[in-house]
Amino acid sequence: MTVPPIEAVRTRLLTRPLLRPWGADVPELHLVVVEVDAGGATGVGFSWTPTIGPHAVQALLDHDLTAFAVGRPAHPELIWDDAWAHLHEAGGAGVTTIALAGLDLALWDLRARTAGTSVAGLIGRRTDRLPAYGSGVNLHYSLDELVDQAERWVAAGYRGAKMKVGSPDLDRDLERVAAVREVLGPQRWLAVDANQRWDLPTAERAIRALSRFDLRWIEEPLRADDLPGYATLRRRIEVPLACGENIHTLYRYREFVAAEAIDILQPNIVRVGGITPFLRIAQLARSSSRGLAPHLLPDLSAQLAATLPGTVWVEEVEDAGWEPLGFVTAPTPVRREGGDLVVEERPGLGFAFAGQPASTRAATESQ
């Protein structure tokens, strides 16, 4: 089958305030919507970032990726590696891979729409129902607010939850984790996330103290690029070690796996550059017998998790979904039933972003 060339790339920036700010420094989220025209059809993808960098991402797409992409085949797997190499002079990861994700997602959407199926269907859907876990950016919450949130997780039907740790005072963390564990009870699992707040001695001391709460994993206890530290820490603790939301390339994931520095890989589909590299990282997790827990973006993560073997838990941060934030004008293909996420069949990725052209939105909403 002949792959048509990319004819045009367009972007627009959407910014929405968070209903529950992730702290004083993260009051909003940004989406850079990316539209790609090829062969008489349009694919729609997006890049994403909380608060920092959306204009830089959009500029890379408008001024560098568009010039690179136009005239090349409209197939994500045929151009991703060349596109990454093209942007590499501006940095091998970070803002460059976040920008590249917008193009990659739009091309996957276009490819699936052209084939008359969803992206999950194109890849090979294995299930339409996945377990979700409640998550919160809540280190700044009072203890009462945190307990209230944990009670909402239980009422929603989640069978697992993740909370933030990393207070300057370890006793505060211990009190808060004990309170959440009491609300969840022994039948639900609990993970904690330190968001890179500790050095190695502090992390080892804190994790040993927190391990009494039967933790599913400890996430990002150290600076994300401290590979020797993670390898050392993993040898010294018994709690499974998770990281990856700030690991942006397959090459870096391979280094963490080879160094025996990680138990659970947590790629953010946008930060790693889109669906194409995410699927490669998922294959790395399978081949190395590591766990996989996609970071955030449940409206996208659940669709891809539905194509993977085994059970993949999907993270849902409270009140951060695209519908309540107003990023989309119609329900996404991912809906929650109790503690599960159900993935419905829609053309492409199935997103109707705010401001989307009426012809594309109508095609999405008619399914």
Q: Which helix (H) or strand (E) holds 320?
A: none
Considering the candidates 30, 75, 162, 164, report the single residue annotated as catalytic.
164
Number of residues that make up the chain? 367
Considering the candidates 30, 75, 248, 295, report the single residue annotated as catalytic.
295
Q: How far is CA 148 from CA 7, 100, 139, in A?
A: 51, 39, 14
Helix axes 170-184, 200-210, angle to 10 degrees: 40
Assign 3-state DSSP to the chain and report helix, strand, coil percentages, each to 5.
Answer: 40, 20, 40
The separation between CA 44 and the C-alpha centre of its own chain, rounded to angstroms, equals 18
338: left (phi over 0), alpha (psi -120 to 50) or beta: left
**Segments of 220-364 assigned E as strands:** 241-243, 264-265, 291-292, 314-317, 334-337, 340-343
Is 164 catalytic? The answer is yes
Is 30 catalytic? The answer is no
Q: How far apart are CA 284 and CA 292, in angstroms?
A: 10
Q: Which helix (H) or strand (E) holds 201?
A: helix 200-210
Q: Which helix (H) or strand (E) holds 357?
A: none
Active-site positions? 164, 295
